[in-house]
Amino acid sequence: MTRHIRGGGPLVAALAAALALTACGAGGRDSSDGEAAVADPGVTDDTVTIGGTFPLTGVAAPGYSEIPTGAKAYFDYVNEQGGIHGRQIEYIVKDDGYNPTTTSTVTNELVLKDEVFATVGSLGTPTQASVADYLNDEGVPQLMVSSGSLQWGDDVENRPLTFGWQPDYESEGKIIGQWVAENMPDAKVGLFLQDDDLGEDAEKGVRQFVDDQIVAVERYTSGNTDVAPQVSGLQAKDADLVLAFNTPSYTALSQLVALKTGYKPQWFYANIGSDPALVGSLLERFSEGAVAGSSAALDGVMTTEYIPGIDSADDPWVELWQQVWDEHGDDGELTNYRIYGMSQAYAFVQALEAAGEDLTRDGLVEAIEEGGTEWEGPQLAPFRYSADSHMGISGMRVVELEGGVGEPLTDVLVTDIGDAEITTDDSGQADDAPPEGGVPTS
Amino acid sequence: MQQFFNTALTGLTLGMVYAAFALALVLIWRSTRIVNFAQAPMAMLTTFVALVVIDAGYSYWLGFVAALVSGLVLGAVIERVVIRPVEGKAEINAVILTLGLFIVLHGLAAVIFGNRYRSFPAPFGLEGLTVGGTTIALNGFGVFTIVSVLVVMGLLVALFRYTDVGLRMRASAFNQEVARLLGVKVGAMLTLGWALASVVGSLAGLLIAGGSLVHPSYMDSVVVFGFVAAVLGGLDSPLGAVVGGLILGVSLSFVSGYVGSQLVALAALVILMLVLTLKPGGLFAQAPERRV
């Protein structure tokens, strides 16, 4: 019986809040009407419970399933040092198999059953798009979505509680496009695009600079592993520079097909598809067939970087991540995906720190909007968080891979969506080091 | 011109894999009169067996043989243990059972072998062959695929047409009671049918895996396309299955290359509908009187 009463409390509160909201027509922020005594769900004096959904199984699992293990390790590291404002971070990870229907179900569980304070780092464009409106309606912050789609940050009015984290695909497309226009003006450019937001946003950015250089555009459907017709299409138009915006498995597949059809352009893979360790492990077995094994598989390929990865082992941030992983990680090595998770977790911890001792959802959102651009962290370029934009990291640098290590070809370049200019970053973010103890302080 | 040629060649090799898979479906249809939807995960399991053998340091060919042998055993065991209890009942029971198997085997493979992508080696070079100075989209492994599927087709035609065992298998599939009266060991024939079909399925698994990436659901698209290929060929004829596979492989390759890769699955269904409307028994149906 008591269970019913306890379970009913938040529901009634939520209903009341919903009614109040409809009445005043606001966009989903609650608890601003003087009920300061009632804490937001997921927060107690000594804990804050957050959740995240990731593909732990299925086609998208390779690589991506490692992200929450990295985040978890960092939260454990912070908890060991006493947590933030005396609160331990409890992190609940759910598997959605990269299937939007499942995402809805497990997100419902996180909100209604686990009563999380916020979701943090949940992964995927189609998956998170399916729950964005629900989370905003329920007043649950959807923080630092692991995807470069524009929709996490460009419409603050409709999604006031949603925040991006990684650089968006359009900005990445712009930076890559400008680099090509300046450094390879005679190249015949072919685009190899995933046929969804990833390819669309990126194409928009690239076309701003190299529209007249593009000779071929090929799109593949994620899930269809036969990309031979697409690669043949690029080859037929004699594209000698391929800008590819695809997931890691498709980097491996496109390399295999190119080998088969004797196609040897300069490849430029966007950050999302270029993890040398993962692609190398996929191609390793084919080394006899003239694909170089392991990390050398992508030698000479160009890509971009926005956080330091395992290839720069003496970067102070990577040293911290290595220490965190050694002390709190599961089995397995530290990988770039785990570093991604940790970097993201670091930003969330910064937000918690900034939100102060009286933790509320509103307070957290405000803290990110007000201070986000100033936060120093592993990211090479600052965040763009403000009251008007929830876009994440503002830039990246272009690198060429050699033995799995990215050799910088440019400084860190920053920009924004639309026709914002591309400039060299002067914030010094790329050269900072983590604070003593590895936990951010405000 | 080169694009046209390359698209056709990739379609050809892909079509041969669909054909191999369709052959397995035809084999089980001819010997037991059911459609086995669990064919794909069965083939996936045996491919992983090959991967384990190869990972242990043995040669590709030992892994190849291991996969075919485990296919034989797996097919026989599944028939004896899972399918046997519903044999003689309505055919739909067995078909639904194979759908269940599909899910179980998937889960099993994920538990045993993990869910990540892994690369699967090929015994021949992966670089395209060079003809008259240009590289064509056909490598050694592609040639191997085409040859082995044609050989298997020949063997199946010979089995059903010229051997005593083949005749008994068909007899027990058509009418168990009469076959039994004539002295055919029906049970053994059904087991044999499953076992052989599973071997052919394993071959299809190995052919599509070679020089590419495998994970527990890598065969899933092949289920659909292999099934379409088999139906195109009339479900009854090995030659029909191969022709159906080729038609499907080449047309889907062209759709993907010239129209758009998002339309591939749709195109497969359109082809299926066209054939079933114009020639309901499939392209190679030979005995309409049987449909009474």
Backbone φ and ψ of A186, nearest 5°:
-95, 0
* Rounded Cα gap, residues A28 and A21, in angstroms: 7
User: How many residues does the structure list for chain B?
Assistant: 292
Q: Among B207, B240, B228, B221, which residue's Cα sits nearest to residue B276?
A: B228
CA separation for the pair B100, B38 (Å, rounded): 8
Q: What is the C-alpha to C-alpha distance for residues A297 and A251, in angstroms, rounded to an integer?
A: 11
Distance from the Cα of A300 to chain B's closest Cα (Å) equals 19
Residue A26 has pLDDT above 50, yes or no: no
Token pair in block for residue B173: 């599939």
CA–CA separation, B282 vs B233, rounded Å?
Answer: 5
In this predicted structure, the answer to whether residue B272 has a pLDDT above a threshold of 90 is no
> Given pLDDT bands bounded at 50, 70 and 90, which one contains residue A120?
very high
Q: Is the pLDDT of residue B285 over 80?
A: no
Q: Hunting for tokens 């640098």 — which residue is that?
A: A397
Q: How many Cβ atoms are within 10 Å of B89's Cβ, its own excluded?
A: 9
pLDDT at B219 over 80: yes
| A260/B128 Cβ within 8 A | yes
Helix (H, G, I), strand (E, B) or coil at B130: strand
Residue B134's DSSP bridge partners are B131
- Can you give the residue ranges of every domain in chain A? 38-167+312-394, 169-305
Integer Cα distance of A35 and A37 in angstroms: 5
Q: Which domain holds residue B178?
A: 2-218
Residue A31, pLDDT score: 44
- Which residue from A338, A348, A343 is spatially nearest to A141, judged by alpha carbons? A348
Lowest mean pLDDT among A115-124, A297-306, A317-326, B62-71: A297-306
Report the top-level CATH class of A169-305: alpha beta
Q: With an 8 Å Cβ cutoff, is A225 touching chain B?
A: yes
Structure-token pair, residue A139: 């007043």
% of residues, chain A, pLDDT over 90 = 54
- d(CA A269, nearest CA chain B) in Å: 19
Q: Are the Cβ atoms of A253 and B115 closer than 8 angstroms?
A: no
Q: Residue A213 pLDDT more than 90?
A: yes
**pLDDT at position A262:** 84
- Cβ of A224 within 8 Å of Cβ of B221? The answer is yes
Give CA A249 to chain center in angstroms: 17
Residue to test with chain B: of A194, A260, A335, most B Cβ within 10 A: A260
Between residues B32 and A439, the one the model is more confident about = A439
Asked if B126's CB is within 8 angstroms of A290's CB, the reply is yes
Alpha-carbon gap, residue B180 to B129, rounded angstroms: 53
Q: Which of A374, A436, A347, A340 is nearest to A81 (CA)?
A: A436
pLDDT value at B14 more than 70: yes
A423 pLDDT exceeds 90? Answer: no
**pLDDT over 60 at A34, yes or no:** no
Q: At residue A225, what are phi and psi to the nearest 5 degrees?
A: -85, -5
Residue A14 burial by Cβ neighbours in a 10 Å radius (0-12, 13-18, 19+): middle
How far off is chain A from B137, nearest CA to CA, in Å? 5
State whether residue B59 sits within 8 Å of chain A by CB. no
Please return the burial class of A242, using the count of CB atoms within 10 Å of its CB with bins 0-12, 13-18 and 19+. Answer: buried
Mean local confidence (pLDDT), A193-200: 90
Confidence check: pLDDT of B224 > 50: yes
Span A330-384, pLDDT tens digits: 888 898 999 999 999 999 999 999 998 889 999 999 999 998 888 888 999 999 9
User: Is any Cβ of chain B less than 8 angstroms from the Cβ of A220?
Assistant: yes
Cβ burial, residue B147 (10 Å; 0-12/13-18/19+): exposed
Residues A389/A382, Cβ–Cβ less than 8 Å? no
Nearest to B137 among A233, A260, A290 (CB): A260
**A244/A236 Cα distance (integer angstroms):** 17
pLDDT at B201: 92
Q: Does some domain include residue B141?
A: yes
pLDDT band of A60, cuts 50, 70, 90: confident
Cα-Cα end-to-end distance for chain B: 49
| Better-scored residue on pLDDT, B225 or A294 | B225
Q: What is the pLDDT of residues A220-253, one digit of tens each?
A: 987 777 888 899 889 988 999 999 999 888 898 8
Indicate whether B191 belongs to any domain: yes
Cβ(A278)–Cβ(A298) under 8 Å?
no
Whether the predicted pLDDT of A287 surpasses 70: no
User: Domain count of chain B?
Assistant: 1
Q: Which CATH code is given to the segment(s) A38-167+312-394?
A: 3.40.50.2300
> Can you tell me the mean pLDDT for B94-121?
86
b/e sequence A15-38, b meaning 16+ C-beta within 10 Å: eebeeebeeeeeebbbbeeeeeee
Looking at chain A, the whole-number percentage of residues with pLDDT higher than 70 is 88
pTM: 0.81
| pLDDT bracket for residue B86 (50, 70, 90) | confident
Helix residue ranges, H only, B79-139: 91-113
- Give residues with Cβ within 8 angstroms of A296, minimum separation 6: A280, A403, A404
Enumerate the residues of chain B whose CB falls inside 8 A of the CB of residue A290: 125-127
Q: What is the DSSP letter of B279?
A: S
Please report whether residue B254 resides in a domain: no
A259 to chain B: which residues are within 8 Å by CB? 126-128
CB neighbours of A242 closer than 8 A, spacing ≥ 6?
A189, A190, A191, A192, A234, A265, A266, A267, A268
Distances (CA, A) of B17 to A310, A437, B24, B235, B281: 40, 57, 11, 16, 23
Is residue A406 over pLDDT 70?
Answer: yes
d(CA A126, CA A149): 10
Contact B122 A236 (CB under 8 A): no
Q: How many CB atoms lie within 10 A of CB A432?
A: 15
Chain B interface includes A256 (CB < 8 A): yes
Which residue of B12, B116, B219, B250 to mutate against A (max A Cβ within 10 Å)?
A: B116
Q: Can you read off the two tokens belonging to residue A333?
A: 């090595």
Q: Residues 241 to 260 of B: which have CB under 8 A from any A CB?
A: 253-254, 256-258, 260
Return the residue of B nearest to A196 by Cα.
B262
The Cα A327–Cα A324 span in angstroms is 5
Q: Which of A176-180, A369-373, B213-217, B282-286 has the lowest mean pLDDT?
A: B282-286
Residue of higher predicted confidence among B239 and B3 = B239
Q: Is A311 exposed, middle or buried (0-12, 13-18, 19+ CB in 10 A)?
A: buried
Q: Which ipTM value was assigned to this complex?
A: 0.78
What is the pLDDT, as a whole number, of residue A285?
67
CA distance A149 to chain B (A): 20
Q: DSSP H helical segments within chain B, as ranges?
A: 2-32, 39-55, 60-78, 91-113, 140-162, 164-174, 176-181, 186-209, 220-232, 238-254, 264-278
Residue from B228, B214, B191 nearest B44 by CA: B214
Among B9, B52, B115, the residue to mutate for chain A (most A Cβ within 10 A): B115
Task: Inform me whether the C-beta atom of residue B217 falls under 8 Å from chain A C-beta atoms.
Answer: yes
Span A106-127, average pLDDT: 94
Q: Record the tokens describing residue A336, joined without a space.
A: 């770039």
Q: What is the mean pLDDT of residues A194-206?
A: 91
Q: What is the per-residue pLDDT for B53?
A: 92
Share of chain B above pLDDT 70, in %: 97
- Flag whether residue A250 sits within 8 Å of chain B, measured between CB atoms: no
Q: What pLDDT sits at residue B135?
A: 72
Q: Do A235 and B2 touch (CB under 8 A)?
A: yes
Amino acid identity of residue A332, one-letter, is G
- Is A282 in contact with B14 (Cβ distance < 8 A)? no
Mean pLDDT within B227-253: 89
State the pLDDT confidence band at A295, using cuts at 50, 70 and 90: low
Q: Which amino acid is at A68?
A: P
